[in-house]
């Protein structure tokens, strides 16, 4: 067990601050503060997206060219937990204290990660129950049609890594993350908690991309919000990469959009939840394990019907 509870903050270095500001506003985040050098958004539970100009020299080094994530800040439940975590890893990694007082290190991928007592709060929001054949969980209540999404939390981040074994040693052996599922030799789904949702971190080794961001993912309250949120983002003119759809691994309903801050962002809901009893599975990296089904190009915000794209535009079936 790592002692960490989840992602508190993702810091991007971006080439177009105004465009990224518009994107994350349309994405449904709340604006916390803005200046020429920094824009801060937050989710309902106060996990933060921070935007800074890519050439800001105070940013940690980039792991790829262009707009991308420059730092991930992980939260611990208390100062006691944070201190215990830091003392456990102190002999195995190089920790440096930044001007903000946070302890930082560099992961096996060259990405800067930092640690703090979590600033996240209980958002208090409730999802909508679904009715199954054996149990009416929603009685005298219609399921909602959401006009837009309000992301609850930054649930996971996904990176391409050049050396999956080095990543396993760093995050599992050194930091204490748990493996939930894996594509042997290709990908590791990791959760920083023993009991919790399917993954907070997914690391992917592919022949064609060595190092970089794949996506940042936002958990919504229920599957209805994934649909309503995605349609809203589409109506604002942002382009779907893939979605809506469903991942057989994690069970989540998803919708991926191209993001001007770098790579992709994802809305999702209805992810599997695990305890210490869960035994990590191994999966073949085949398309049907990535998506049970998915719509390429998304759904039009105007017609509410699927957008047609050429078969040749199909994105690679990798997570």
* Residues of this chain that bind Fe ion (CB under 5 A): 217, 266
Tokens 């399921």 -> residue: 143
Are the beta carbons of 298 and 230 closer than 8 angstroms?
yes
**How many residues are there in the chain?**
319
Secondary structure percentages of the chain, helix, strand, coil, to 5: 15, 35, 50
Q: Minimum distance from CB of 58 to Fe ion (Å)?
A: 29
Nearer to Fe ion, 43 or 103 (CB): 43
Q: What whole-number distance in Å separates Cα of residue 201 and Cα of residue 182?
A: 12
**CB 153 → Fe ion: shortest distance, Å?**
13
DSSP 172-216: IIIS-PEEEEEETTTEEEEESSSSEES-SEEEE--SS--SEEEEE
CA distances from 128 to 2, 125, 269 (A): 31, 10, 11
Minimum CB separation from Fe ion for residue 142, in Å? 29
Give whichever of 170 and 218 is closer to Fe ion, judged by the CB atom: 218
Q: Find out whether 23 and 261 touch, Cβ atoms under 8 Å.
A: yes
CB of 74 vs Fe ion, minimal distance in Å = 17
Point out the residue whose Cβ comes nearest to Fe ion.
217
Report the residue number, 175 or 265, with the smaller CB distance to Fe ion: 265
State the Cα–Cα distance between residues 147 and 170, nearest whole angstrom: 41
- In whole angstroms, give the CA distance from residue 95 to residue 92: 9
For the CB of residue 180, give the shortest distance to Fe ion in the complex, in Å: 13
Closer Cβ to Fe ion, 8 or 266, answer by number: 266
Residue with smaller CB distance to Fe ion, 105 or 200: 200
Q: Least distance (Å) from Fe ion to the CB of residue 183?
A: 14
Closest distance of CB 206 from Fe ion, Å: 15
Tokens for 61? 């080094």
Least Å from the CB of residue 197 to Fe ion: 11
**In this structure, what is the dihedral angle of CA atoms 243, 248, 250, 256, given to the nearest 10 degrees?**
-10
Cα–Cα distance, 19 to 27 (Å, whole number) = 12
Residues 55 and 13: their CA atoms lie apart, in Å, by: 7
């Amino acid at each position: 067990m790592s002692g960490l509870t989840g992602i508190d903050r993702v810091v991007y270095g971006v080439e177009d601050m105004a465009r990224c500001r518009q994107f994350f506003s349309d994405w449904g985040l709340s604006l916390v503060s803005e200046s020429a050098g920094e824009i801060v958004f937050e989710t309902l539970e106060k996990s933060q997206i921070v935007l800074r100009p890519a050439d800001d020299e105070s940013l940690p080094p980039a792991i790829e060219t262009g707009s991308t994530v420059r730092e991930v800040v992980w939260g611990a439940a208390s100062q006691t937990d944070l201190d215990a975590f830091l003392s456990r890893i102190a002999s195995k990694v190089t920790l440096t204290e930044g001007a903000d007082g946070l302890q930082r290190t560099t992961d096996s991928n060259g990405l800067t990660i930092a640690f703090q007592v979590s600033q996240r709060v209980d958002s208090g929001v409730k999802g909508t129950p679904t009715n199954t054949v054996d149990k009416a969980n929603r009685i005298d209540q219609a399921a909602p049609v959401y006009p837009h999404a309000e992301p609850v939390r930054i649930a996971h981040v996904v990176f391409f890594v050049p050396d999956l074994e080095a990543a396993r040693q760093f995050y599992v052996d050194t930091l204490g993350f748990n493996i939930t599922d894996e594509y042997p030799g290709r990908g590791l789904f990791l959760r920083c908690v023993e009991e919790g949702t399917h993954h907070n971190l997914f690391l992917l080794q592919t022949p064609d991309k060595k190092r970089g961001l794949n996506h940042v993912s936002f958990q919504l309250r229920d599957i209805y919000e994934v649909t309503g949120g995605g349609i809203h983002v589409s109506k604002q003119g942002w382009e779907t990469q893939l979605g809506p759809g469903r991942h057989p691994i994690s069970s989540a309903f998803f919708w991926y959009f191209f993001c001007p801050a770098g790579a992709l962002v994802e809305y999702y809901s209805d992810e599997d939840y695990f305890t210490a009893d869960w035994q990590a599975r191994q999966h073949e990296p085949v398309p049907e394990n990535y998506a049970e089904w998915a719509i390429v190009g998304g759904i039009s915000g105007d017609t509410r019907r699927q957008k047609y794209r050429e078969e040749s535009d199909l994105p690679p079936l990798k997570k």
